[in-house]
Amino acid sequence: MSKAARAIAALRAGRPVTVGGLTIAAVETVTDELLSLLDPDARAPILLSGARAAALGLANQRDAATPDAPVLIERADWLTPSSVRSLVDAGQDFARFSAGPLTTRSPEHSDDTSAALGLVRRAGLLPALWVLSDRSALSLESCEATAAIAPRTATIAARAALPVEGLDAEVQIIAVRAEEDGSEHVALQVGAPGGRAPLVRLHSECLTGDVFGSLKCDCGPQLRAALRLMAEDGGGILLYLRQEGRGIGLANKIRAYGLQDRGLDTVEANRRLGFADDERDFALAAAILRSLGHREIRLLTNNPAKLAGLEAEGIAVTRVPHHLPANPHNAHYLAVKRAKSGHLD
């Protein structure tokens, strides 16, 4: 297990992590009891992603040249652990009548800061951290971390035949492991893709749409239609990438859905939580394609970021549009993706 993977697990478990010169703990998971040991004088400032700071209206205190830079909130007496948990959780923005006065400054170790925020994001937690002072006097163990490098090295772990309901083609399921963080992904090989550029779909995990039939998005229908098109085309490859919620993780996606219940759109909800609209990266997808021997593909997508992401990794891509009929619940979501995320017609 890499240092980054251990650190991600430690953050999820509410334990402290050291990243370069910083010792941090996730606001979302550290208990009050442990925090009082780690920060006995209640002085630890709070590190927020730039997007979350902007959502809290703290942008005016920041450098106009770096509007997305992370921000440190100075500790004040009224900032108790529970008020900080409420401050960093966008779900509570509508209940809170006051979020201030807050004093901010720019964090000093900018590489360690962005590495720390990258780790907590990769842990699927809110992008908010306690920055603890040097704890060398304490005997508490903390996990050492390096920056979480986006997974980009694919190893094929296992392969087997998989009969799939409604698909008139032989399907092979291939389990892939990413070296950087140990995450597991899947390539479904439909039929016998070979010869000319095969039909490919990069599908980012969507538990709600893929498994429960959620009507809020178009993921489930896109997944099934892609497999059908591949079978009709004589073959294809579907990569099932574990990038739930465009890379923010399941709990954060459900938080985003809660904000959408309040009227925010899919992009605004991500920003309000403190994330970019899309936190995905397609380097691992390119590595999986290369390891399966495909350097030229036809990609079922409406998302230009997928085309650019693969092309940047040396895969030659021709786009095949992949629109499914809208329903009353996802029509607005699809319109926002066209208007704000550059999705193609």
Ligand X SMILES: Nc1nc2c(ncn2[C@@H]2O[C@H](COP(=O)(O)OP(=O)(O)OP(=O)(O)O)[C@@H](O)[C@H]2O)c(=O)[nH]1
Q: Among all residues, which ones are annotated catalytic?
A: 278, 280
Task: Answer yes or no whether residue 230 interacts with ligand X by CB under 6 A.
Answer: no
- Do the Cβ atoms of 270 and 277 come closer than 8 Å? yes
How far apart CA 39 and CA 44 sit, in angstroms, is 6
- Do the Cβ atoms of 178 and 153 come closer than 8 Å? yes
Q: Rounded to the nearest 5°, which phi and psi values hold at 3?
A: -60, -40
Map residues 317-336 to x or -, x wherever contact with ligand X holds by CB under 6 A. -----x--------------
With CA atoms as reference, report the closest residue to 214 among 343, 329, 336. 329
Between the two ends of the chain, the Cα-to-Cα distance in Å is 42
Tell me whether residue 217 or residue 284 sits nearer to Zn ion (CB atom). Answer: 217
Using alpha carbons, list the distances in angstroms from residue 74 to 63, 100, 278: 17, 11, 29
Q: Which stretch binds ligand X (CB under 6 A): 87-95, 101-109, 144-152, 298-306?
A: 298-306
Residue choice 178, 256, 283, 284 for contact with ligand X (CB under 6 A): 256
Residue choice 8, 22, 147, 206 for contact with Zn ion (CB under 5 A): 206
Residue 15 partner contact from ligand X, Zn ion, none using kind-dependent CB cut-offs of 5 to 8 Å: none
Coil, strand, or helix at residue 133?
Answer: coil
Query: Smallest distance, Å, CB 36 to ligand X?
Result: 34
Site for ligand X in 175-214 (CB under 6 A): 203-206
In our burial notation (b when 16+ CB lie closer than 10 A, e otherwise), range 198-222 reads: bbbbbbbbbebbbeeebbbbbbbbb
CA 12 to chain CA mean position, Å: 15
Tell me whether residue 22 or residue 237 sits nearer to ligand X (CB atom). Answer: 237
Residue 23 partner contact from ligand X, Zn ion, none using kind-dependent CB cut-offs of 5 to 8 Å: none
* Interacting residue ranges for ligand X, rule: CB under 6 A: 203-206, 217, 219, 222, 243-246, 248, 253, 256, 266, 270, 301-303, 306, 322, 337, 343
Binding residues: 201-206, 217, 219, 222, 244-246, 266, 301, 306
* Interacting residue ranges for Zn ion, rule: CB under 5 A: 206, 209, 217, 219
